Amino acid sequence: MHIPVGETTKQSILTFQEALDKHKPDKPYSRERWLYVPDFYSEYRYILGTKGKHPLITLGINPSTAEPDNLDNTLKSVERIALHNGFDSFLMFNVYAQRATRPDDMDLVFNEELHHQNLLAFRYCLEQSEGAPTLWAAWGAIAEKRDYLMTCIRDMAALGNEYGAQWVKAGTVSKKGHPHHPLYLKKDSPLEPFDIKAYLKER
């Protein structure tokens, strides 16, 4: 369980580039296998995943406690489904970078600077793919928890469009059209096209 210490607007946060460049040498995980930014446990996380040429970039709402070699059940499901669908790796990205196991604990005040840095991290993720990136919309109905989350999703959809990204989903959408969260999906769940433009048009 991760309960935020407070609003991120009142905290000192590394930029994405600073977090990417700064390393703590005592970390035991393999840097050749894992991409973890920042590479230490903190109140936020930009990226967590494995390295490869054909990653499945998965978009959840916000990170919880997962770290390299210590994935939570959601991330275990993401990795299984990525491998089953022919991807050689996965990158877990989140619409909002603040760690909070319970979405109700997320920032009440939108941290625009954190979002800006998160967009830079998203661009970095998109650039890891050889060819058009594949984006798995996997945020579930949690997207309704904060009004600013749809703003974040819109910005990421626009950025994904710059790279010719292909959007997919797994499982059924909710009654309100939200894509299924990875937790509880079968490991052999197929990925299917997801119309991000239609989804955003309805909101």
Say how far apart CA 71 and CA 89 lie, in whole Å.
14
pLDDT (0 to 100) of residue 43: 97
Say how far apart CA 106 and CA 98 lie, in whole Å.
7
Segment 71-129, tens digit of pLDDT: 999 999 999 999 999 999 999 999 999 999 999 999 999 999 999 999 999 999 999 99
Provide mean pLDDT across the span 33-62: 96
Rounded to two decimals, the pTM is 0.95
Provide mean pLDDT across the span 142-154: 97
Segment 4-46, tens digit of pLDDT: 999 999 999 999 999 999 877 667 889 899 999 999 999 999 9
pLDDT (0 to 100) of residue 2: 95
